[in-house]
Structure 1
Amino acid sequence: MPKGSLHIPRFLRFGRSRPPKLSTRTLYLQNTHESKNVSVQGEGNYVNYNANSSNKFMAELLEKTIPGAAFDSSARDPPPRCHPGTRLAILARCLEFIANAVDEQKIRWVVGAAGVGKSAIMQNVADSCLPSESLGASIFFSINGRNEGNKAIVTLAFQLAAKCEPYRQFIEREIARNPSLFQSSLSVQFKKFITEPFIHDPLLHSIGRILIIIDGLDECDQLHTQRELLQLISGHCSTYPSSPIIWMIASRPEPHITYFFAQDHVKAVYEKEEILVDSDEARDDVERFLRNELARIQKEFSLGSRSQWPPEQDLWKLADASGGLFVFADTVIKYIGDPVVGNPTSQLNDVLKVIDTHPLPNVPKEQHPMARLDMLYAQILSKVPEKTMVNTRKILLSMIRGIDWGWSTESRNFLVLCNWLGMTCDDAYAAVRHLLSVLDAPPRDQAHLAELRSFHKSFIDYISDFTRSGVFSDIEHSRFNVPFEFSSRLLMALILVIWVMVFVARIQEL
């Protein structure tokens, strides 16, 4: 086996669900779509199967699905994948869970900050476990057109029906009886398309392990839909521990999703796989990615094979700036190796300037070295409600300039920040609620012990640069205003305290 490769267990390499041994009374048809009319008879059972009807049903079912959501969809081609030799430990743990999950614990929640590479990990799992002949399904949600949560169950049903003839027959009968199922609630669709076939139908219940992957749950269009999907899936695992379905769910640590998995009655049905930004494993993987990709660029553009390119100190600067955030490293590589520009050395110099926070004058926003990363951060910031944006801006400004205001290290915690900015804790937590995929906020009961921090410096760099983010048009003016407001509040408080002390002293004299 090549060094740095991931061993895929035999079961997971082909991922095929073996059909159960069938009695002479059981109908099991496969690969019949090319037939015109098929009749099967056995021991008193007679079934007339019309392939044309089946094809029409599948075409109609396809129209009700989320376009391009499957792991092998052309709409996602090429999909994000883990760089060879990276994420090996995480992938091994995920594959081991899929192979060995038993009883009610059949959910693996893959969670991590924006840009750590969750989708690439889920894609690799899908590539390993969902080849064309295996029984499973996947949804890769995206705000870019693949976010219709109300179509999630039908999308999974279509993929399963395309691979499993008994399942297709089952749901075709159900929809023939009740065509309004397409307009039914998610809970009804889950019951009819997931629970009833795979729990109550003997043939499908014994068909073997079925893997369902849901990536980017937080990008599903409605929060209540995200919650409902989690409730349905966890309830299914809890109620039916013998279910053959294994669930892989990936998301950012959005508060409503984190809260859901923190509930006591949910803890028994899932395992958590947290993808950290600043772990040693992540940093090593990012460095490997950078070295390999820069070597590829050197060869592609014939950049002096006799000498090292780029110099080692520049590579270390890139690796240090990237940390364990794959989206940063990927953005850098795509910019440096841009075939349209065709000048990796010049592009590298631009990236190094950005890392050193040197401005790039007269560079259009869309041509900035961090343009791809900026799009991600802009999308996250757009979720902040207008009502709370005033407080959000104050908090972000404090993260940019807080150290200039003379805080001691010991006093820099989230509670002090709230007082400094004249906010209640409720106001402050509401202000950062929609930014928890880029900001690490301490739990409320630890607000006096830990400070608010960014998962990665690139987000602070982004909001600091008005030409990129548009957050602070006059950062120096804003920098002056916030401490001035705090000083004014402090002065008023001192005046009030002095006034009370004088008043009490006069009362005592009387």
Structure 2
Amino acid sequence: MSSYFANSRDFAINKLTLNNTNNNYISEGDALQYLHKHSATSAMHDSEERYPPPLCHEGTRDVVICRIEGWYGFEIPPEKKIMWVHAPAGYGKTAVAGTVSKKMESRTDLDFNPVGATFFFWRTSPERNSPARFIITLAYQFTISIPELAPHIEAAVKRNPMVLNKALEAQVTKLIVEPFKSLGELDNMPHRLVIIDGLDECINSDQESRIEKQYAEDQERVQVRILDLIRTLHSHNLPLCFLILSRPEPWIKQHIGSKSFQSITETLDLYQVGDHMKDVETFVRAELARIAEHLDPQPGDDEEWPGEDTVKDFLQRTGGHMLYAATVIRHIGDPYDDPRQRLQDILRGEFNSTQDLTHSTPFSSLHELYRQILRSCPQANRATMVGVLEELLAAREELWLRSKVQAACNILDRLCGRAPGRGIKALRPLHAVIRLSGDDDGSSSNSPFFYHSSFAEFLRDRSQPLPDVTINVQKGLSRVLAGCLKALSAITMDGQVSEEHVKFSLNHWWSLWFGLHPITDADLSSHFKALLSADLTACFIQNVMDNERSDNSLFYCLLDLYHRNGSLIVRRRPFPVYAALIEDLLSHLRSSADACFRHVLDPEFLNSHLVDFYRFSLFLSLYMMQLSEHRPVPAFDNLVQALRGLLEKRETFFKKLEESVEKSMHASNRDSKPAVMDIFKRARQDVE
């Protein structure tokens, strides 16, 4: 946890995952399990989170896949051991990566598995949008794909379990390079392929800033850092090849075009390879035939639907864009409407025949298709539909664990005061662009809700949607936050937090609070007053007791709690006109934290409640740092007194807590360690 404690002032984090790494010794046989625990298993190509994985439609992308297989060579390593495949959004890069993984793993003519490891980055998944577990995940997969490597990686983890908390560059050396070198002669070892998809989806979310410029700089830095890690692995002449797929972001393109990469990297532009029109035609004809099987023939039809002229018109409109074709197919495949009429409506719409595949950003034809889909939505439900879309976009990162839209809409309905089921009903006409059923047709997306990120980008662009479909994400965020703050009032110290919308509120109100840019003064004032009326002591206690949550409002409220400029939560809302409310809120946060720790440290409470010890000791460490640095009265004395009472009745628990806090302080490398440990000494004075 050192990365969270060190230099804690004036920074913001949006996600926090707690992992107990206090143990400095791992027993025999536990090392690989420990490595597995810290791996991003959901980032692997065959993970449950990605099931069913996006794959290329049969008979499409054959030229691209053959080109990649030809470069890899199987038995003979390529001259350039890194291949970068790039293309804009919507070209099926993830499907290509998944298909290559599947085809290579299915080879029966080889006595080894050519796929050494895979990592599929994904912007909205905390486990997959950060580099933190990248090297660990590759190393874990190598223990499986290269069995002779397993004991050497296991030994590295057993020697120093804290390597999993070291810098990525150190992990590369200890978990991959040195284990490979321990095998001795590597020239005769089959080379394995490492597939890294969606490099541009790695956004370093653990250090994400809400300031756009800083956020963009963080993305560039972390993506270039991943490339440098790959180059480091390449420099050691290991039996590894690397297939990297991403959008052609300028910084990625520039780095791969530098001298250090040019001589070792083969670049493949997905647009330049293969016959995209042929691939789209294969897909369109197969899908239209599938839909036609379920249609009753209409009197007077001279030929079976859709007819060759209709197919050709449709293909011309796709411009070779598989994303456009797939979106139309989903739209016309609505089981509650007539596919013939829907396709005819699309083809009758405005169309610029000069658009071609090179005009991929923005997708002008795709955006027009999105407008047509929105026009088809009933006017009576349009206002509700807009509201739900605003809320989904505003809380997309917070809702990602509820990967099905139905579950997300149920929460949003409760928070925003709609009748149950009304939200999902309003979205039904958008089934072509939103995953209403929660099923995955194999298409690529960086959102659990939208089939493709381009629809979310389209909605955010106010120049794109219809006049009565203007999306204001801040309005949606304000509504969701208001609902969350209201839901906090249902939380009590001893009650169970069971309702999903209340759980969501307890987990995520702070994240929504950080992202809010109030539209009116009235909005801001109401949010302040709602937070002031919440029983934050009860909320904090629930955070301590729950061992399943990865998001912790107490952690963020404690950051710089006694800083002269106010805590992190308050400093994010620097509005002088509300100075009195801000002061009241700061006082509320401090008194609530004080009451929380006094309550949880009460031996009677500990005797009757199950507390997540590691989480509580972490929070207590952070709180004690604040107290030791600022010595607020009476909070400092209250904590000493609470610890003294704990020592008198639960001495074993007291000692365990003292030891855990000391380890946390040692890991944080903070100057305040002596002052923090002095609090325990003060608690001992009168008792001993």
When normalised by structure 2's length, the TM-score is 0.45
- Residues 337 and 182 (structure 1 numbering): CA distance in 2 closer, same or farther, change over 3 Å? same
Q: Which residue of 1 aligns with 2:227?
A: 230
- Any stretches of 5+ residues in structure 2 without a counterpart? 1-26, 205-218, 352-367, 387-426, 435-449, 474-688
Determine which of 43, 61, 68 is the counterpart of 1:87.
61
Aligned equivalents of 2:469, 2:346: Cα separation in 1: 15
1:322 paired with 2:304, answer no
Moved more, 167-176 or 200-209: 200-209
Q: Which moved more, 1:370-379 or 1:92-101?
A: 370-379
Report the AA paired with residue 90 of structure 2: G
Mapping of residues 272-311 of structure 1, within 5 Å: 272-276=267-271, 281-301=275-295, 307-311=303-307
Structure 1 residues 227 and 200: alpha-carbon distance in aligned structure 2, compared to 1, 3 A threshold: farther
- Listed one character per residue, the Cα deviations across residues 171-222 of structure 1 (whole Å, up to 9, x for unaligned) are 1111111111110111111112222223453266643111100001110123
1:267 aligns with 2:283: no
Q: Aligned partners of 1:71, 1:369: CA distance in 2, in Å?
A: 26
RMSD: 3.2
5 Å-filtered alignment, 1:423-502, equals: 463=464, 465=466, 470=471
What CA distance in whole angstroms lies between the structure 2 residues aligned with 1:256 and 1:287?
A: 34
* Maintained 8 Å contact 1:197/1:205: no
Give the SS at the match of 1:191. helix
Q: Which amino acid aligns with 1:211?
A: L
Query: Which residue of the partner structure matches residue 165 of structure 1?
Result: 147
Aligned partner of 2:308 in structure 1 is 312
Q: 82, 106, 116: which is aligned to 1:136?
A: 116
Q: CA deviation at 1:381?
A: 7.0
Distance change >3 Å, CA 345–CA 193, structure 1 → 2: same
Could you tell me how far 1:338 is from its partner in structure 2?
A: 3.7
- Is 1:108–1:272's contact at 8 Å kept on the other side of the alignment? yes
Cα distance in 1, alignment partners of residues 329 and 162 from structure 2: 49
Query: Which secondary structure does the structure 2 equivalent of 1:150 belong to?
Result: coil
Alignment of 1:75-224 (within 5 A): 75-99=49-73, 102=77, 105-131=80-106, 134=113, 136-145=116-125, 146-199=128-181, 201-202=183-184, 206-222=188-204, 223=219, 224=221
Give the secondary-structure state (helix, strand or coil) at the position aligned to 2:289.
Answer: helix
CA contact (8 A) 1:150 1:225 kept: no
1:255 Cα offset (Å):
1.5
Distance 1:127 1:288 in 2: 21
Instruction: Tell me what 2:684 maps to.
Output: none
Counterparts of 1:469 and 1:281, CA distance in 2: 37
Identity %: 29
SS of residue in 2 equivalent to 1:211: strand
Change (3 A) 1:466 1:165: farther
Q: Is the 8 A contact 1:350 1:369 kept in 2?
A: no
Task: State the AA in 2 paired with 1:307.
Answer: E
Corresponding residue of 2:439: none
Native 8 Å contact 1:108 1:270 kept in 2: yes
Unaligned segments of structure 1, at least 5 residues: 1-51, 385-392, 398-462, 473-510
TM-score (norm 1): 0.60
Cα distance between partner residues in 2 of 1:470 and 1:74: 33
* Equivalent-residue separation in structure 2 for 1:180 and 1:205 (angstroms): 31
Distance, in Å, in 1 between the alignment partners of 2:337 and 2:36 is: 42
Distance 1:152 1:380, change over 3 A: farther
Summarize the alignment of residues 409-428 of structure 1 with structure 2, pairs less than 5 Å apart.
none
- In the alignment, is the contact (CA less than 8 A) between 2:157 and 2:175 conserved in 1? no
Residue 276 of structure 1 aligns with an amino acid whose one-letter code is Y
Q: What's 1:360 paired with?
A: 376
Q: Is the 8 A contact 2:121 2:129 kept in 1?
A: yes
Q: From the superposition, tell whether residues 166 and 469 of structure 1 become closer, same or farther in structure 2 (CA, over 3 Å).
A: farther
Please report how far the alpha carbon of residue 94 of structure 1 lies from its aligned counterpart in structure 2 after TM superposition.
0.3
Q: Choose which of 237, 243, 250 in structure 2 pairs with 1:255.
A: 250
Query: CA shift at 1:380, angstroms?
Result: 4.7
Q: Distance in 2 between matches of 1:122 and 1:195?
A: 25
Q: Distance in 2 between matches of 1:182 and 1:303?
A: 63
Separation of aligned partners in 2, 1:195 and 1:243: 8
Q: d(CA) in 2 for partners of 1:225 and 1:120? A: 24
